[in-house]
A and B are shown apart, each in its own frame.
Chain A
Amino acid sequence: MQIFEYNGSAVVAMVGKNCFAIASDRRLGVQLQTIATDFQRISKIHDHLFIGLSGLATDVQTLYQRLVFRHKLYQLREERDMKPETFASLVSAILYEKRFGPYLCQPVIAGLGDDNKPFICTMDSIGAKELAKDFVVSGTASESLYGACEAMFKPDMEAEELFETISQALLSSVDRDCLSGWGGHVYVVTPNEIKEKILKGRMD
């Protein structure tokens, strides 16, 4: 199997009305064998900015640690949090630095920008940004996720409905993928709070 499919992953982010949701599966595998069912793929950068990384698990963890480091330096110098658009450019630059020996991950960035306007974007493993107004997907289940999101997404959903939609899209897509699933992890972020939920999915 290809190197991007070595560990298996599924990440999706969706935009709602002044809120966003980001979700991932929880499986860590070594090709077909499942090693863990509680792997963290989505991480918080600050209260209004989350990054989900799909692809090779070792690069997911290392890249996350590097990004947290860069963001903390920024916070020290600028005395404020990074805007999501700026953070996306930072990630893109860090990935392109390794153009000829890349990090084998595809990040999904989701955040609330100025005036609490939700921002989502995804990138390939060498930093090509893809901004979207509705949803972005990445991982081994990405093709199924595209289909499910396209069918279920509606613009301007409130936080409750957004949670239901993104959960259904994630669970039905990973049920068609051997390498991802075994539960789900969803974050729904509004200007005032972050709701974190774990989904009960099929464990096969």
Chain B
Amino acid sequence: MKLDTSGFETSVPTIGFGSSSDMLDELSSVPSFDLPHTKEFDGFQKKAVDMLKHAKGTTTLAFIFKGGVMVAADSRASMGGYISSQSVKKIIEINPYMLGTMAGGAADCQFWHRNLGIKCRLHELANKRRISVSGASKLLANMLYSYRGMGLSVGTMIAGWDETGPGLYYVDNEGGRLKGDRFSVGSGSPYAYGVLDSGYKYEMSVEEASELARRSIYHATFRDGASGGVASVYHVGPEGWTKLSGDDVGELHYHYYPVPPAIAEQVMEEATTE
């Protein structure tokens, strides 16, 4: 867990009366860094970190079942109350047999997942075999642990299929890493857990599992203000991952709860009041 300390070395030597003497040259090689000009030295870093800390406004879930791993997520990005996008890709394809989900800071998740993809590929080239899901999640957890306290916001699940079968790990910015069968991350996760836990059976078929995942995401987008957009569902099997569906939750609502058609001849955007 070696931290990158190249930022400490300054290009300009710190001591410089008459820089020709030998003793001064040795002293000038001591690593040091520029102190920031601020009144409040003790607190300013925490304030800067808190400013960037985004609540994990999203819903992602993943579970292991007989047919592999099912991964699903919404697609809304919010900045406080404003919806900045309804079409964010929150399921990141690390390599053809491993997926990562995004919750928390979008930049953090995208960067660290791509970084993980690079490390996995290097492992493959160095060891002539694919990395396991356990190994990949451990790499990510260790990287995040070394940046603990610096304000990264990452709540991700690594799902994949390796020699031992399906694998699912939860990794977060505190450096925590948990192995499990069912996870949901984000502000909409309590609602997704409710539907997922009550409908889950290990012996589900792929169709039943994908419908359960889609329904869980839909219910979370209904109740949670920070989740919405499109519910994407991916399946990870022995041959790798495939995208099963990407349904707009606005339309899914009327698919699950259709409004009885109005008798009158009025035009669009009208529903009978109850």
Contacts and interface: CB of A to CB of B under 8 A. Distances in A.
Chains A and B come from one and the same complex: yes
Interface of A: 1, 5, 8, 29, 31-34, 140, 167, 171, 175-179, 196-204
B222 to A, nearest CB: 6
20 contacts: A32-B224, A33-B225, A34-B223, A178-B76, A178-B81, A178-B83, A178-B226, A179-B225, A196-B273, A198-B273, A199-B271, A200-B259, A200-B269, A200-B271, A201-B250, A202-B228, A202-B250, A204-B227, A204-B229, A204-B249
Contacts of B254: 200
Contacts of B249: 202-204
B270 A199 contact: yes
Contacts of A33: 223-225
A199 B270 CA distance: 5
Contacts of B82: 176-178
Contact of B270 (A32, A175, A198): A198
A1 B81 contact: yes
Interface residues of B, number: 29
A61 to B, nearest CB: 20
A5 B250 CA distance: 23
Given A5-B81, A203-B249, A178 B271 contact: no
- What secondary structure prevails in chain A residues at the interface with B? loop
Interface string B72-99: 0010101011110010000000000000
Contacts of A167: 269
A148 B76 CA distance: 21
Contacts of B271: 198-200
Given A176-B83, A177-B83, A178-B226, A204 B270 contact: no
A194 to B, nearest CB: 14
Given A32-B187, A176-B83, A203 B222 contact: yes
Contacts of A196: 273
A79 B273 CA distance: 33
Nearest to B270: A197
A40 to B, nearest CB: 11
A164 to B, nearest CB: 8
Contacts of B224: 32-34
Contacts of B76: 178, 204
B225 A32 contact: yes
B270 A200 contact: yes
Q: A1, A29, A140, A204 — which one has the most chain B CB atoms within 10 A of its CB?
A: A204
Contacts of A197: 270
Interface string B172-191: 00000000000000010000
A29 B228 contact: no
Given A198-B270, A204-B250, A1 B225 contact: no
Contacts of A177: 81-83
A34 B81 CA distance: 14
A51 to B, nearest CB: 20
A74 B240 CA distance: 73
Interface string B249-267: 1100110000100000000
A204 B249 CA distance: 7
Contacts of B221: 203-204
B141 to A, nearest CB: 28
B57 interface: yes
Contacts of A140: 81
A203 B253 contact: yes
Given A32-B187, A176-B82, A202-B228, 14 more contacts: A1-B80, A1-B81, A32-B225, A32-B226, A175-B86, A176-B83, A177-B81, A178-B78, A178-B228, A199-B269, A200-B271, A202-B249, A204-B228, A204-B250
